[in-house]
Amino acid sequence: MGFGQVILAILGVVVLMIVHELGHMLAARRFGMRVETFSLGFGPTIWKHKPKDSPTTYQIAVVPFLAYVKIAGMNPFEPVDPKDKGSYANASLWARIVTIAAGPIANYLLAFVLFFVGTVMGGRLAPDEASMRVEPHPDGPAAQVGILKGDRVLSINGSPIRDWDALKATMAAHPGETVDVEVERNDKILHFSPVVGSEGERKGKIWVGPVSRVMGMGETTLVCLKLPPLMIYENVRALAMAITFREKPDVGGPVRMVKEVSNAIAIGPSAALRYLGAISAGLVAINLLPIPALDGGRLMFLLYEAIARKRANEKVEAKIHAVALLMFLALFVVITVHDLIPTKDKVEGSSKGAPAKSAPALSASPPTPPPPTPTTP
């Protein structure tokens, strides 16, 4: 992981935050609200600029991994002129809902753009699951016994294999065992005997995936339209599984994101863009959670207003958001420290020589692996 890759990764993550805040700012301006500050980062300001005839001060702060916009009238502890049309406090309910939702919407649209551009740059490739032709990972059990790219799997231990679900289920049932894999190659029937993985990421796998095919532009567009909601669902599902203690939480902060994006950059620009797309979709999922300080929490208060036809106590709401924000910042610090300090699991994971996460593994590999759940609001 070179220095240049780290710088590009940081810029990539920063762009995701800028686009999110641009969504809020542009929506606020569309409804006539006055945006007073657009800040990249928090803490002491190291640079700021206020364009002539503009109410907005653009600034960069010391810690660059959070961003925010300050809209006039959002702080209920500041005096508000009831005749001020540029105040958030005087805006219509619809205007406030759109302004709050615009950040996640911007990340959602960006996710699609990144998926689409990355997929086109990568040659518009998609897993060809229908053919049952495989591509083995060079370090996996399948490649070690002679299975080649393009071989078509016919059966395993004499049982016909007609789809990838059957292939995965059969392998998962034989961890650590030698299996007979029947393949077709150039109209010839061949048999190979790989040993199915028995532990860790290799368990129940021989490390093969479907060969790729080239999609048309129409199919590429449809596939990339489906990816943001799929990634959002996966993030929410992973969070739900972690909360209910059914899965070990895989939570990462900005440092983890930068490391993962740097690894994707090392693979190539296509992988990097698609991985950033996955993170952008993850930010949508996290920000729309109905938790105070997040956009989803603010939308919950606005939903209450729409149902009850009266505003919640704005000062109480502001205090709730402030307490939640402090808790998020504390969590942010803890996770950042955890990401920076090497642990036994991290060291062992990097020394075992397991195939990279982007390698095919008995399933149709998504365009990018789901990112760690982001924790930045």
What DSSP line would sit under 148-214, residue for residue?
Answer: -TTPEEEEETTEE--SHHHHHHHHHT-TT-B--EEEEETTEEEEE-PBPP-SGGGTT---EEEPEEE
pLDDT greater than 70 at residue 135:
yes
Taking alpha carbons only, the member of 215, 210, 194 closest to residue 149 is 210
pLDDT greater than 90 at residue 38:
yes
38: phi then psi, degrees, rounded to nearest 5? -120, 110
Taking alpha carbons only, the member of 78, 75, 41, 82 closest to residue 58 is 41
pLDDT greater than 80 at residue 106:
yes
Instruction: At 30, list the tokens.
Output: 């569309």
What pLDDT score was predicted for residue 193? Answer: 96
Please report where in the chains the tokens 């339209």 appear, as a residue.
225
117/367 Cα distance (integer angstroms): 12
What pLDDT score was predicted for residue 43? Answer: 83
195/180 Cα distance (integer angstroms): 9
Q: Helix (H, G, I), strand (E, B), or coil: what is residue 72? A: coil
What pLDDT score was predicted for residue 369? Answer: 35
According to the per-residue pLDDT averaged within each range, which of 84-88, 251-255, 371-375 is highest?
A: 84-88
> What is the pLDDT confidence band of residue 348, given thresholds at 50, 70 and 90?
very low
What percent of the chain has pLDDT above 70? 90
Q: E strands of 218-362, at which residues?
A: 251-252
Please report where in the chains the tokens 């005839």 appear, as a residue.
53
* pTM value > 0.85: no
pLDDT greater than 50 at residue 354:
no
pLDDT greater than 70 at residue 33:
yes
What pLDDT score was predicted for residue 365? Answer: 28
Report pLDDT digits (tens) over 301-313. Answer: 999 999 999 999 9
Residue type, 34: R
Element housing 233 (H / E): helix 217-243
What pLDDT score was predicted for residue 343? Answer: 58
185: phi then psi, degrees, rounded to nearest 5? -140, 115
Give the C-alpha distances (Å, rounded to integers) separating 83 from 54, 79, 99, 376. Answer: 20, 12, 20, 35
pLDDT greater than 60 at residue 351:
no
Element housing 59 (H / E): strand 57-71
8/41 Cα distance (integer angstroms): 17
Instruction: At 50, list the tokens.
Output: 């206020």
What pLDDT score was predicted for residue 337? Answer: 82
Mean pLDDT score of the chain: 87
> What is the pLDDT confidence band of residue 346, given thresholds at 50, 70 and 90?
low
Tally of residues, the chain: 377
pLDDT greater than 50 at residue 363:
no
Q: Helix (H, G, I), strand (E, B), or coil: what is residue 320? A: helix
369/196 Cα distance (integer angstroms): 23
- Given a contact cutoff of 8 angstroms between Cβ atoms, the answer to whether 174 and 194 are in contact is no
What pLDDT score was predicted for residue 373? Answer: 36
> What is the pLDDT confidence band of residue 277, given thresholds at 50, 70 and 90?
very high
Helix axes 254-267, 269-287, angle to 10 degrees: 150
What pLDDT score was predicted for residue 358? Answer: 31
Higher per-residue confidence, 112 vs 239: 112
> What mean pLDDT do residues 63-67 have?
78
Strands 159-160, 152-156: parallel, antiparallel or unpaired by DSSP?
antiparallel
Strands 208-210, 159-160: parallel, antiparallel or unpaired by DSSP?
unpaired
> What mean pLDDT do residues 38-57 have?
92
Q: Helix (H, G, I), strand (E, B), or coil: what is residue 254? A: helix
- Given a contact cutoff of 8 angstroms between Cβ atoms, the answer to whether 41 and 61 are in contact is yes
> What is the pLDDT confidence band of residue 1, given thresholds at 50, 70 and 90?
low
CATH of 134-210, one of 2.30.42.60, 2.60.40.10, 3.40.50.620, 2.40.160.40: 2.30.42.60
The residues spanned by each domain of the chain are 134-210
pLDDT greater than 80 at residue 148:
yes
> What is the pLDDT confidence band of residue 342, given thresholds at 50, 70 and 90?
low
- Given a contact cutoff of 8 angstroms between Cβ atoms, the answer to whether 38 and 58 are in contact is yes
What pLDDT score was predicted for residue 245? Answer: 80
Report pLDDT digits (tens) over 207-266. Answer: 999 999 999 999 999 999 999 999 999 989 988 888 888 877 777 777 888 888 999 999
> What mean pLDDT do residues 73-88 have?
91
pLDDT greater than 90 at residue 109:
yes
- Given a contact cutoff of 8 angstroms between Cβ atoms, the answer to whether 343 and 204 are in contact is no
